[in-house]
A and B are shown apart, each in its own frame.
Chain A
Amino acid sequence: MPLLSVESQLPWLAELAGAPLPNRREEAWRFTDLAPLRDLEPTLLPVVDPLGGVPLPKGVSRLDPAEWAPLLDASLVATGSEAAWPVGLNRAADPQVLALRVTGEADPLELAWDAGSAKGLAALRVLLVLEPGSSLDVLQVVNSSGANCTSLITEVLLAENARLNLGVLALGHGMASLLAHVAVKQEPGSALSCTTATAGWGLVRLEPRVMQSAGSAQTRLRGLQMVDGQQLADTHSFMSFGGPAGELDQVHKVVANGSGRSVFNGAVKVPQAAQQTNASQLSRSLLLSDRARVDTKPELEIVADDVKCAHGATVSQLQANELFYLQSRGIGADQAAHLLLRGYCDEVLRELPAMASAWHPLARLLGDGA
């Protein structure tokens, strides 16, 4: 890599973000090198309508700027995300805000972005405001096939008893980067299910951050990240309980192949006010190549005695006894491995909102025609 390009490109993103790129000496970036961003063309890409011209579904309406302006940033503040570098970058790029209000039982919504093969930075920002008792299934599909970086912030305000099923399906390209930040503020009685699946990106940094402002809400997080080739995928999740009786059910899965690198950091904070919290976090990583690397770091901080908190982490190959069971039924080793891998991934993918099936995520992730 010519040194010159490094020097000429670096300042653009840093200057745009108003802050130098995160350094690997910072704990939150210890395993993640933003080197691929250095080659980024200093261009802001125009963003096409994520609705693809389709009218908004029933129960979903646009908020006008006067309505959304006071609501913007609220979930970022609640989840302590304001200072994060990817957030700063996105704000600095000043993307148009797609701000939507959800009332009652809304019909499913699909938002799709494809940076294509254009070079440069595409910044997107979505604000979802769910009114009390409303419910919505929303699928965000993010694609890219070129040397670009997609910066996506999704902010969600879940009012009392609102229910959101949020899916993020992000299929990229070896030259492409994705910086995705999801900040959710949940009021009591609300339920969030957030499922993310990423594959194919040269670099992904995914930051799901959830705050139950007064506890008594349900949060379900599912993540699948696949790396191959020289790819790097990093999920830094954060969950905090601002009051009692909150629930978290988190499963994060990794498939690491080729010379891929996978990073998972899962923070869960249960302060004194959060008695009767029930939180579980499971991180499962499949390491399929001896050139790949997996880093996993759960972080549990608990200051309340009447809580149930459990977490687990495993890193291994496919289970030998499961493989053997299939083989003993006459299935060849390769096919058995493939079947197990499918099952492993499908456990997360099938939790994406229903309309995700039209994108055939399993087939595309595993690169087979099935």
Chain B
Amino acid sequence: MSTAATVGDLVSQPYKYGFVTDIQTEKIAKGLSEDVVRLISAKKEEPSFLLDFRLKAYQQWLKMEEPDWAALGHPKIDYQEIIYYAAPKQKDKKASLDEVDPKLLETFEKLGIPLSEQKRLSNVAVDAVFDSVSIATTYKEKLAEHGVIFCSISEAVKEHAVLVERYLGTVVPTSDNYFAALNSAVFSDGSFVFIPKGVECPMELSTYFRINSADTGQFERTLIVAEEGASVSYLEGCTAPMFDTNQLHAAVVELVTLDDASIKYSTVQNWYAGDENGVGGIYNFVTKRGQCRGARSKISWTQVETGSAITWKYPSCVLQGADSVGEFYSVALTNHRQQADTGTKMIHLGPRTRSTIVSKGISAGHSSNSYRGLVQMGTKAIGAKNYSQCDSMLIGDRAAANTYPYIRSQQPDASVEHEASTCRISADQLFYLQSRGIGFEEAVSMMVSGFCRDVFNQLPMEFAAEADKLLALKLEGSVG
């Protein structure tokens, strides 16, 4: 029995969220122009500062070139073939969930995200985004009692315009990169979270993204602000139906922490990855960045990346406040023809800032899994420290694992330490587990989740089991 081949079979599990919801959708015509940007803004009845923001971004985008430095092989994206706004047809604003189209509720239920009052996840508030719009946010009133704002960004633009204007685009400027500029011009929805001074958010917050229409791009925008001493844990989840065309997902996430605040941002990404020949799937080009503005503040990114045809994503921390802390914990599993280029940037600006990076890449099939990271110690980062660990697990001899950890230091009194290793599931380890009565499949899945343990431990309790299950799902299958 060849271990590699059999383990390889195990990771080829069909995608379970590939169904399409049959619902009437309001779409605008394909293509991008200044008029389209204005149209999106008008549809959302936005204040003028936001229209200006979008138009400026659009102008910048026009002048930029699509990056190809990550050496990701993908056919050229035709930006005029994408639909920039699609929304399920329903009455304007839902006073209560009872008015939401039952088909939508059913869709989310099928995805394991019940939105209706009786079945809600206890202690998790959910914002559900379907194509371009947020359709429901749960537990809003309860959160409001604590002064916590959790709503779709469209709603925030109207009801908390001052806050949005103060923070939007301050962490990821419109001109930051090609996809960030595009997002800034056309973003349709996403979540807004605001935790006021001194408040510890009483429950987990979660946004669930679903792309339903073919040819639709999803450009969501998330903004989370934690004021002095505030803290929040936030989780995002994503799926999409199976189409044989590629869909573009270009999100921007901005996090801001003031003095002593902390944000924990977790992602379980399971977009459709295309079939085993690499046909279809989501192009996931995302800009995620957090800014620890305040002293002793903390931003922690945890991601479990299992889907998408191509992932291009570097959740980063700008550690500006003295003694601030950045963390990045990542599991990326690629199979078939998937390509993942992911990692983080830890930019140490303030004194005694600390960062930790733990990245676990699992590559199977013909996939390619790259870690690309930057740790930078600025001249004022006295006493700053970074520790990084990047491990790759290879399954089969046609998968690629690449590691590009880039380090720059300009501060002698800062220390950077990076370690990386590769491993595979050894036949001896498998045999050891089997000789204790544990079946092949379970043994493999135990070892894979053991390999990822350091990262799973960082997920909020409610979702740790979920992530474990997701990997197990991908690993499940018939044993030869």
Known pairs A290-B410, A306-B397, A314-B416; A301 contacts B402 (CB<8 A): yes
Q: How far is the CA of A289 from the CA of B409 in the complex (A)?
A: 11
Say which residue of A300, A307, A317 sits within 8 Å of B413 (CB atoms): A317
Q: Contact mask B397-416 → A, CB, 8 Å, 1/0?
A: 11111111111111111111
User: A296 and B424: CB pair below 8 A?
Assistant: no
Chain A residue contacts of B44, Cβ below 8 A? none
Smallest CB-CB separation from A299: which chain B residue? Answer: B404
Known pairs A293-B409, A296-B406; A302 contacts B400 (CB<8 A): yes
User: A315 and B415: CB pair below 8 A?
Assistant: yes
User: B418 and A301: CB pair below 8 A?
Assistant: no
Q: How far is the CA of A308 from the CA of B420 in the complex (A)?
A: 11
Chain A residue contacts of B69, Cβ below 8 A? 27
Most-contacted residue by chain A among B398, B403, B409, B424 (CB, 10 A): B409
Check B459 for interface membership: any CB of A closer than 8 A. no
Q: Contact mask A265-302 → B, CB, 8 Å, 1/0?
A: 00000001001000000000101111011111111111
Smallest CB-CB separation from A300: which chain B residue? Answer: B403
Say which residue of B397, B414, B420 sits within 8 Å of A303 (CB atoms): B397
Check B395 for interface membership: any CB of A closer than 8 A. yes
Q: How far is the CB of B67 from chain A (nearest CB, A)?
A: 13
Check A236 for interface membership: any CB of B closer than 8 A. no
Chain A residue contacts of B379, Cβ below 8 A? 290
Say which residue of A287, A309, A312 sits within 8 Å of B412 (CB atoms): A287
Q: Contact mask B416-428 → A, CB, 8 Å, 1/0?
A: 1111111010000
Chain A residue contacts of B409, Cβ below 8 A? 285, 287, 293-294, 315
Interface size on A, residues (CB 8 A): 34
User: A272 and B397: CB pair below 8 A?
Assistant: yes
Q: How far is the CA of A310 from the CA of B4 in the complex (A)?
A: 21
Compute the total of residue contacts between A and B using a CB distance below 8 Å: 114
Interface of B is mostly: strand
User: A312 and B404: CB pair below 8 A?
Assistant: no
User: B395 and A296: CB pair below 8 A?
Assistant: no
User: A304 and B411: CB pair below 8 A?
Assistant: no
User: A287 and B392: CB pair below 8 A?
Assistant: no
Q: Contact mask A21-56 → B, CB, 8 Å, 1/0?
A: 000000100000000000000000000000000000
Q: Contact mask A312-337 → B, CB, 8 Å, 1/0?
A: 11111100000000000000000000
User: A313 and B412: CB pair below 8 A?
Assistant: no
Q: How far is the CB of A215 from chain B (nearest CB, A)?
A: 14
Chain A residue contacts of B421, Cβ below 8 A? 309-310
User: B411 and A290: CB pair below 8 A?
Assistant: yes
Smallest CB-CB separation from A305: which chain B residue? Answer: B394
Check B263 for interface membership: any CB of A closer than 8 A. no
Q: Contact mask B434-478 → A, CB, 8 Å, 1/0?
A: 000000000000000000000000000000000000000000000
Q: How far is the CA of A315 from the CA of B405 in the complex (A)?
A: 13
Q: How far is the CB of A180 from chain B (nearest CB, A)?
A: 24
User: B400 and A296: CB pair below 8 A?
Assistant: no
Q: How far is the CB of A170 from chain B (nearest CB, A)?
A: 24
Q: How far is the CB of A29 from chain B (nearest CB, A)?
A: 15
Check A311 for interface membership: any CB of B closer than 8 A. yes
Q: How far is the CB of A32 from chain B (nearest CB, A)?
A: 14
User: B422 and A308: CB pair below 8 A?
Assistant: yes
User: A313 and B413: CB pair below 8 A?
Assistant: no
User: B403 and A317: CB pair below 8 A?
Assistant: no
Most-contacted residue by chain A among B392, B398, B415 (CB, 10 A): B415
User: A305 and B418: CB pair below 8 A?
Assistant: no
Q: How far is the CA of A295 from the CA of B405 in the complex (A)?
A: 11
Chain B residue contacts of A296, Cβ below 8 A? 406-408
Smallest CB-CB separation from B369: which chain A residue? Answer: A302
Chain A residue contacts of B416, Cβ below 8 A? 313-316
User: B395 and A305: CB pair below 8 A?
Assistant: yes
User: A295 and B407: CB pair below 8 A?
Assistant: yes
Check B396 for interface membership: any CB of A closer than 8 A. yes
Chain B residue contacts of A275, Cβ below 8 A? 397
Check B377 for interface membership: any CB of A closer than 8 A. yes
Known pairs A287-B412, A294-B407, A305-B394; A312 contacts B400 (CB<8 A): no
Q: How far is the CA of A272 from the CA of B396 in the complex (A)?
A: 10
Residues from 361 to 411 in B contacting A, C-beta threshold 8 Å: 377, 379, 392, 394-411
Q: Contact mask B89-115 → A, CB, 8 Å, 1/0?
A: 000000000000000000000000000
User: B412 and A288: CB pair below 8 A?
Assistant: yes
Q: How far is the CB of A246 from chain B (nearest CB, A)?
A: 15
The 7 closest A-B pairs by CB, nearest first: A316-B415, A305-B394, A313-B418, A315-B416, A300-B403, A315-B409, A296-B407
Other A-B contacts than A275-B397, A287-B414, A309-B421, 17 sampled, CB-CB below 8 A, are: A292-B412, A293-B408, A294-B409, A295-B406, A295-B408, A299-B402, A300-B402, A302-B392, A302-B400, A308-B422, A310-B421, A311-B419, A312-B418, A312-B419, A315-B414, A315-B415, A316-B416
Residues on B facing A (Cβ under 8 Å): 4, 69, 377, 379, 392, 394-422, 424
- Chain A to chain B contacts (Cβ below 8 Å), 29 pairs: A287-B412, A290-B379, A292-B412, A293-B408, A294-B410, A295-B406, A296-B408, A299-B403, A299-B404, A300-B401, A300-B403, A300-B422, A302-B394, A302-B401, A303-B400, A305-B4, A305-B395, A305-B397, A305-B399, A306-B397, A306-B424, A307-B394, A307-B422, A309-B421, A310-B419, A310-B421, A311-B418, A312-B418, A317-B413
